[in-house]
Structure 1
Amino acid sequence: MGLISLLSSCDAFNRPEPPATLNSRYNDQQPALSGDGRWLALVSNRNSSNEILLYDLRSEKFMDLPGLNQSNVILESPSLSRTGRYLVYISSVQGRPDVALYDRATRRAELLTQGYRNWVRNPQISADGRYIVFETARRGQWDIEVLDRGPLIELDIPDGTPVNNEQ
């Protein structure tokens, strides 16, 4: 009986829970703040892999991002829209970076530059979530590209804010 309790207590020490606060003993980097100042996205190794975490500064806790962090994928350079609905980042599978978008409302991630033949880095998303800018090596040097997600997307706007339809 004593051996079983000793083994179970050792097991508990081998798998510590990651801390639920900022500024832990883990490597946290590349912070991005939402336009409304509530959400903080960051890259961390808290769960023994490189992943993007989302921290609610108001409630002081980390939020679940189902479908975002996957094994064998390196995520970096997060950028948030106004209320944190949209998260743009670099997703590298087998060393090939792509610009990706995660929608917190639908809990879905999509690669925006899949099949794109050039290197990409440093994506940023507009406050309303319609435009994404990133650096690309298309011409053999780093240039800026703007991706327009189109007028039919659901914009990230605060409730009750009128939408200006000027084109």
Structure 2
Amino acid sequence: MVDGNGNNVSWPYTYKKLDPDVAAKRAYENCKAKKSCSYGTAAGLIGYLAEEVGHPFNLIPPEVIQGFKGGVPGHSSICGAIVGAALAIGLVTDVKTQDKLLNELMVWYKNFEFPKFVPEGKNEMVTSISNSELCLHSVGNWCKASGFEPLSPEMHERCARLCADVARFVVERLNETLT
């Protein structure tokens, strides 16, 4: 494949070992900035790779995935953090490895007690297990456990922290698999 500048680009793209804590913090901050879980996770992963590796990651604007926030606006389907993570995984792995890592991500997501990430200067939050990859169930279960309403500032904070947890998991798995 040739990019717009005539450079050869082979897929999967070259992966460089990343710091899971840095990816988590970036995913959290990016989700908060745009109130978009899909963007937050994609920017936390692809944006980080753009800084560490450069080309071709620097040609991929994380905004392209923003339409998947909240499980696709108005639908609450698959969690946007998963979609952002899947995009990053797909850029750096062959199809067989994608299948393996995406399956691991889905199983982990359904069983993980979100959110574990605690930003500097903030307190832990109530956690819950989604038992589903759907935004509707993930948020709904957390709202029941916490007593907060959907779309509340607290829910948005929870989702930003969830993005951090997802980004950390993905970087840990990519580091183990590819480096």
What TM bracket, shorter-length normalisation?
under 0.3
Work out which structure has the larger RCO, using CA pairs closer than 8 Å and 6 or more positions apart in sequence. Answer: 2
Tell me which protein shows more strand as a share of its residues. 1
Instruction: Flag the structure with larger Rg.
Output: 1
TM-score, normalising length from structure 1? 0.22
TM-score, normalising length from structure 2? 0.21
